[in-house]
């Protein structure tokens, strides 16, 4: 085996490892964001008016910031991330 061929194979392996690492990072961003929203909801339960909806209107109940964070994380994972992963590969 030529040294040039061995070097080229080693370079391809390093490139694939970098791409796989980037893909894992991109795919992890959505779930990590969702987990952050859940942690935020647990850390500040008074922000979740669904737990005590007395006297609150629909829009007040609908606009829950921790729930938005969870939804954005899921949206990123299932809508945005597949396109980014496709581009990376």
Q: What is the chain's mean pLDDT, rounded?
A: 82
Show the domain range for 37.
3-88
pTM score over 0.95: no
CB 49 within 8 A of CB 64: yes
Summarize the confidence of residues 17-25 as an average pLDDT.
Answer: 85
Where do we find the tokens 């779930």? 31
Angle, alpha carbons 68-48-60 (nearest 5°)? 75
Count how many domains the chain has: 1
Which residues lie closer than 8 Å to 71 by C-beta, 6 or more apart? 37
Summarize the confidence of residues 49-72 as an average pLDDT.
Answer: 78
Does 44 have pLDDT greater than 60?
A: yes
């Amino acid at each position: 085996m030529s040294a040039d061929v061995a070097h080229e194979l080693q370079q391809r392996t390093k490139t694939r490892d970098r791409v796989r690492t980037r893909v894992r990072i991109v795919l992890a961003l959505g779930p990590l964001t969702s987990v952050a929203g859940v942690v935020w909801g647990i850390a500040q339960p008074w922000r979740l008016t669904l737990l005590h909806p007395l006297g609150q209107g629909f829009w007040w109940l609908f606009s829950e910031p921790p729930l938005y964070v969870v939804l954005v994380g899921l949206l990123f994972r299932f809508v945005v991330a597949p396109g980014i992963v496709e581009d990376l590969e």
